[in-house]
Amino acid sequence: MYGYQLRHEFERSTGATWPLNVGQVYTTLARLERDGLVAQTGESDEDGKVVYRLTDAGHAELTGWFATPIGGADRPRDELAIKVALALTTPGVDVRAVLQTQRTATLRHLQELTRLKAVADGSEDTAWLLVLDSMIFRAEAEVRWLDHSETRLARRGTTSPPANRPGAAAPDPADAGAGDRAVPR
């Protein structure tokens, strides 16, 4: 396979969710070649493109990758959890508004994914459907966590430390409804 073909294959099976630029593909191929994981076959196709193949070491590396589960520590830090945790401890920030803003945004994303799934359903593109399902379940998990966080906050009976929030510091539960309207739309 050569670079363009690799990119095409990747995007075909992941539905172009994570677009690659072809420069990235060639840089990666060069590094893989340096590390002995791929090698040039010596042939080139009719357009003069260099064709690569996996070496034995490359094959072992690939098999190992498929066989290894992804650990939590390998994923990037969860910016949303950090944001909510900080919102809770930063005076003057309405955590419930932060949660709701995210909930609406995530629901919108979920609607988009669902529409794409409805379109893809008729096709036989199982790889793309699996990728979509994965994104849908992840977004759903996020909403559940947001709901759970809101319930936890409600049980605690506080939305943020009683800081200098004008008119929002009243602890009287009867005012809860009026406070709700402060959520941005």
Give the separation between CA 58 and CA 8, rounded to whole angstroms: 20
Site size for other proteins, by CB under 8 A?
34
Give the separation between CA 46 and CA 64, rounded to whole angstroms: 34
Contact region with other proteins (CB under 8 A), list: 2-10, 36-44, 48-56, 101-109:
101-109
Looking at 119, 130, 163, 169, which residue binds other proteins (CB under 8 A)? 119
- Taking Cα atoms as reference points, which of 80, 76, 74, 70 lies closest to residue 141? 80
CB crowding 30-43: b at 16 or more within 10 Å, else e: eebbeeebbeeeee
Contact region with other proteins (CB under 8 A), list: 33-41, 44-52, 57-65, 113-121:
113-121
Residue 1 contacts by C-beta under 8 Å, 6 or more apart in sequence?
9, 51, 52, 53
Cα–Cα distances in angstroms (integers) from residue 155 to residues 84, 85, 124, 159, 160, in the given order? 17, 17, 47, 10, 13
Residues 37-76 that bind other proteins (CB under 8 A): none
Contact region with other proteins (CB under 8 A), list: 24-32, 85-93, 155-163, 174-182:
174-182
Spatial contact of 65 and 76, defined as CB atoms under 8 Å apart: no
- Least Cβ distance, residue 166 to other proteins (angstroms): 20
Residues 129-168 that bind other proteins (CB under 8 A): 136-137, 139-140, 143-144, 147, 150-151, 154
Looking at 88, 100, 165, 168, which residue binds other proteins (CB under 8 A)? 100
- Least Cβ distance, residue 91 to other proteins (angstroms): 23
- Least Cβ distance, residue 80 to other proteins (angstroms): 15
Give the separation between CA 52 and CA 34, rounded to whole angstroms: 13
Residues 2-21 that bind other proteins (CB under 8 A): 15-16, 19
> Footprint of other proteins on this chain (CB under 8 A)?
15-16, 19, 100, 103-104, 106-108, 110-116, 118-119, 136-137, 139-140, 143-144, 147, 150-151, 154, 176-177, 180-181, 183, 185
